[in-house]
Amino acid sequence: MFPTDLIGYLAAALTTCSFVPQALHTFRTRDVRGISLGMYSVFTVGIALWLVYGLVLGAWPIVVANAITLALAGSILGMKLRYGGRQSPPGPP
């Protein structure tokens, strides 16, 4: 393995893992009020394109990271689409 691949895998692991807390929170609470539908829609399409780009180049750090991130972001986007319109307003502090 080349040192550049190691850097790529480390960067991929860190950026992909950054989605796990949000995904877990969303799955557990189904609270999607703070998630922007527009941002997550564009972001998910962007991640899909990064995945295609990585496949074309044969760059496995890009492929692995973006496949996992696409699954997480797509799940969060799906939850936003499913539960976004049914959120009740927050209660008094």
CA 49 to CA 66: how far, in whole Å?
Answer: 9
The CATH number corresponding to 3-84 among 1.20.1280.290, 1.10.1370.30, 3.40.630.30, 3.20.20.140 equals 1.20.1280.290
pTM of the model: 0.78
Residue 90's alpha-carbon distances to 16, 34, 93, in angstroms, are 30, 12, 8
Tell me the pLDDT tens digit for each residue of 18-73: 888 988 988 899 899 888 999 999 999 999 999 999 999 998 888 988 999 999 99
